[in-house]
Chains A and B, each alone.
Chain A
């Protein structure tokens, strides 16, 4: 299985654990990701706030840079995924946008044929292409006894991205089940983490984060599994400040789902970026699944 891969800026810094665990898991599952050469930032939500055409043009530069030998582009970040997918869709559906974006690309000597690439989220690829059997048969350390709250957030499933239900998605739930984890079915799994609100208006952001932590804790989650850098950052890095703000005592480790997949596949915790989370996951993992995967021999 070969794909073009768009890591996105967060994987170089705040979400380095995602980057490490994606690479380790892809290697183990024999998925070949070729990084888009010299990719640029997708503009997050911010570029669309300043200039729509320029936002679409910088996104399309990444699409244009994918080599002709590959026809699928994978993003591990939900915001990047949505931006890449949305620009492609806009170009397919609106000839005037397609024309202007390609005029802009031409100024840089590039061209993108709208609709050429199929744009996928990492979860979609691991769930649908690698699939249940291939993952199940490689599990050497089942996550039995570990209660995991799957957290989807927004932009992987909305607006109507088509690969799972926009309000009650289940694919991460099922994948965690393949790993042997106890999957926590809690009501806010596709609610918003606040995105960039933590920078703009803390009060609103902290309340959105509190609702998520509260619900996951109420349903006795041991850890939360994320599939987006922004979600992980908000729930993990701001958890202490949320506790100070509301006088709460949440102590809920927030991991990337690929770290849990890797753990179950027997990859070492260091290689998976464990320990980079602010709320440490090691203690609960040691309690629930006995030892960390470092002790498990290669499968």
Chain B
């Protein structure tokens, strides 16, 4: 049994950063989440266990966990949770905290998110070829060889553009993003 901490700043932060996150306090440790999760078997802690660790204030153990990076955002746990805890959204919060506090440095999940968002910031659109090539080149160059034939067959079928599409109002988008980052906080 993992003890529940009395003064738990960590849990409060997780709850404040997640709309509806106060439901976390109502977790009854039933395990429906982990049992439903398509990647549950590969998680160091299932969501149930992770929530017990959050309630115990085990900040480092939680933020170092692979759990949130194994989350595929399928929302099966969320739609099944009898306590209506927004589990998938809490996973997003933990990813952000983990990145912000340097726990996820170098992980593929964090690197993909960083690469993806940098293209969106620059062009206003996702750019599959650019994202994939930069991500594989920096994170896992050995896989580039295996990805080559797949990329080629996508290209020959007209399913891969080699140049990005740029929206007209990139400056407007950037102003919105910059203001949002300045406002920050929970949302």
Please report whether the interface of chain B is mostly helix, strand, loop or mixed according to DSSP.
helix
Task: Find out whether the CB atom of A94 lies under 8 angstroms from the CB atom of B180.
Answer: no
Choose among B19, B88, B96 the residue that contacts A90 (Cβ–Cβ < 8 A).
B19
Write out the residue numbers on chain A whose beta carbons fall within 8 Å of the beta carbon of B177. Answer: 54, 57-58, 104
Query: B169-185 toward A: CB 8 Å interface, digit per residue (1/0)?
Result: 10011011111110111
Q: How far is the CA of A159 from the CA of B78 in the complex (A)?
A: 7
Choose among A53, A58, A192 the residue that contacts B120 (Cβ–Cβ < 8 A).
A58
Choose among A50, A94, A196, A199 the residue that contacts B99 (Cβ–Cβ < 8 A).
A50
CB contact list, A23-76 vs B, under 8 A? 38-41, 43-54, 56-58, 61
CB of A276 closer than 8 Å to a CB of B? yes
Query: B47-77 toward A: CB 8 Å interface, digit per residue (1/0)?
Result: 0000000000000000000000110111110
Choose among A45, A53, A201, A237 the residue that contacts B108 (Cβ–Cβ < 8 A).
A201
Q: How large is the interface on B (under 10, 10 to 19, 20 to 34, 35 or more residues)?
A: 35 or more
Query: B124-142 toward A: CB 8 Å interface, digit per residue (1/0)?
Result: 1111110010010000000
Task: Find out whether the CB atom of B159 lies under 8 angstroms from the CB atom of A94.
Answer: no
Distance (whole angstroms) from the CB of B121 to the closest CB of chain A = 9
Choose among B73, B127, B154 the residue that contacts A195 (Cβ–Cβ < 8 A).
B73
Task: Find out whether the CB atom of A43 lies under 8 angstroms from the CB atom of B176.
Answer: no
Write out the residue numbers on chain B whose beta carbons fall within 8 Å of the beta carbon of A167. Answer: 76, 79
Q: How many A-B residue pairs have CB under 8 A?
A: 204
CB of B27 closer than 8 Å to a CB of A? no
Write out the residue numbers on chain A whose beta carbons fall within 8 Å of the beta carbon of B179. Answer: 57, 103-104, 106-108
Q: A40-B167, A41-B126, A167-B79 are in contact. Are A14 and B184 (CB under 8 A)?
A: no
Task: Find out whether the CB atom of B187 lies under 8 angstroms from the CB atom of A49.
Answer: no
Q: A90-B187, A154-B73 are in contact. Are A108 and B173 (CB under 8 A)?
A: yes
Task: Find out whether the CB atom of B73 lies under 8 angstroms from the CB atom of A45.
Answer: yes
Task: Find out whether the CB atom of B38 lies under 8 angstroms from the CB atom of A107.
Answer: no
Binding site for A on B (CB under 8 A): 17, 19, 38-39, 42, 69-70, 72-76, 78-79, 86, 88, 92-93, 95-96, 99, 108-110, 112-114, 116-117, 120, 124-129, 132, 135, 143, 146, 150, 153-154, 157-161, 165, 167-169, 172-173, 175-181, 183-187
